[in-house]
Amino acid sequence: MEFFLISLLNGVTYGLLLFMLSSGLTLIFSMMGVLNFAHASFYMLGAYFAYQISTYLGFGAALLVAPLVVGALGAVVERYGLRKAHRFGHVAELLFTFGLAFLVEEIVHLVWGKSSVDYKIPEYFDGTLFTLFSTSFPIYKGFMMLVSVGMLVALYLLLTRTRIGLIIQAALSKPDMVQALGHDVPKIFMLVFGGGTALAGLAGVIGGNAFITEPGMAAAVGSIVFVVVVVGGMGSLAGAFVASLLIGCIQTFSVGITFSVTDLAALFGVRLEDSSAVARLTVTQLAPVLPYLLMVAILIFRPRGLMGARES
């Protein structure tokens, strides 16, 4: 029971962080059709900026400023890079973000070095929020959840209660129609791209010190974020939310489950004497493959994703 509850809390915390990362990507992907390979790089930049700002002004300032800086940078990238690549079609756009991801990692090497930086959780968050049975739940994880949920609510209000939100929503499902109605779609694209990268930056600010801030952190989450977007479905923030939580929980729970094919067979009364490598695999070992398996299965059997509005 204790294990279950703690794992659930860990899974939800991680899932919420994933959602913060993927919500921006979903918006960008659905509206602009761009698979933004550099999205996780903005997450990394968020963490590094927050580290730099917090050494001078403290964590509070970093939490506010770093996402804005990242968002502004994202908008600039869209305006002066992506839009140019857009003329050459989707492949060029995609390759542009691919190259950008590459370059960002190198810039991080250049500015902050190749090892991890010492981006720490501020001291006032160092402690225990509550103790469940005997396991303590750190304040910082609670704070992460709070920020994630706060962002979720803000995003929801923005999309459903404001004019720009309604236009974005319309553009999610019918981009051509929105353009036909006379809205400045390129400007909306720039806004969405900037907003999406800002969210990734925010995820970096709170994820960077919870885990570790290093040049490899973008690559580590990069493909998982794609999984979330694909599984959740095109144009569906709700889908991305469900998929994030699902994948967060899969990854957390699978660590604790030492159940193998051999055990499964044993349940049915079959004893596998000559346990081959496949039969001995436990769920723990399978954990890294599960998200991708899910993604491929979804792409083949339900290309619109869990809650997608359209196929592509």
Partner 1 sequence: MTHRIRSTVAVGALLLAGSAFAQVKIAYIDPLSGPFANVGEAGLKGFREIADTINAKGGANGQKIEFVPFDNKGSPQESLINFKAVTDQGIRFITQGNGSGVAHALVDAVNKWNARNPDKTVLYLNYAAVDPTLTNDKCSFWHFRFDANSDMKMEAITNFMEKDKSIKKVFIIGQDYAHGHQVAKAAKAMLAKKRPDVQIVGEDLHPIGRTKDFAPYIAKIKAAGADTVITGNWGNDLSLLIKAAKDAGLKAKFHTYYAGGLGTPAAMGPAGEGLVLQLTEWHMNVQPNKAEAFATAFNKKYPGVEFYYLRVNTMMLMLAEAMNKAKSTDPKQVALTLEDMRFEADNGEVWMRKSDHQMIQPLYISIFSKVDGKAVKHEVEHTGHGFKTLASITARDSQLPTTCIMERP
Partner 2 sequence: MIEPLFSRGRILLWLGGLAIAIVLPLVFSKGFAVSLLCQMGIMVVFALSYNMLLGQTGLLSFGHAVYYGLGAFVTMHALNMVGKGGFPITLLPLAGGAAGMAAGILLGYVTTKKAGTTFAMISLGIGEMVAACSLMFPGFFGGEGGVSGNRVTGKGLFGISYGSQTEMYYLIAGWAFVCVAAMFALTQTPLGRMANAVRDNPERAEFVGYDPQWVRYLMMVLSGFFAGIAGGLTALNYEIVTAETLNAHTSGVVLLMAFVGGIGFFYGPIIGAILITIMQIAIGGITKAWLFYFGLFFLFMVLYAPGGIASLLTVQRRLWVARLWWPLLPGYLLVLPAALVSLAGIVALVEMGYGLLEQEGTGEHAVHLVGLSIDAASGAAWAGAAALLAAGLLLVRWTWGRLEVKWNAALSALQNPGGAA
- Closest separation between CB of residue 246 and partner 2, Å? 16
Residues in the chain: 312
Cβ proximity of 92 and 85 under 8 Å: yes
Of the residues 3, 4, 88, 133, which one makes contact with partner 2 according to CB under 8 A: 88
- Closest separation between CB of residue 141 and partner 1, Å? 8
How far is residue 104's CA from residue 74's CA, in Å, rounded to a whole number?
12
Of the residues 107, 159, 212, 250, which one makes contact with partner 1 according to CB under 8 A: 212
Residue 213, strand partner residues: 117
What is the H or E stretch that residue 136 is in? strand 135-138
Burial letters 47-68, b for 16+ CB under 10 A, else e? bbbbbbbbeeeebeebbebbbe
Site string for partner 1, 114-133 (x = CB under 8 A): xxx-x---------x--x--
Site string for partner 2, 224-253 (x = CB under 8 A): --xx--x-----------------------
CA 142 from centroid of its chain's CA atoms: 18
Check residue 107 for interaction with partner 2 (CB under 8 A). Answer: yes
Residues with Cβ within 8 Å of residue 152, at least 6 apart in sequence? 16, 19, 241
- Closest separation between CB of residue 268 and partner 1, Å? 26
What is the H or E stretch that residue 128 is in? strand 128-132
Site string for partner 1, 141-180 (x = CB under 8 A): x---------------------------------------
Check residue 147 for interaction with partner 2 (CB under 8 A). Answer: no
Please give the residues from 4 up to 23 whose contact with partner 1 meets the rule CB under 8 A. Answer: 6-7, 10, 14
First to last CA, the chain: 42
Q: Where does this chain bind partner 1 (CB under 8 A)?
A: 2-3, 6-7, 10, 14, 109, 113-116, 118, 128, 131, 134-138, 140-141, 210-212, 214-217, 220, 251-253, 255-256, 284, 288
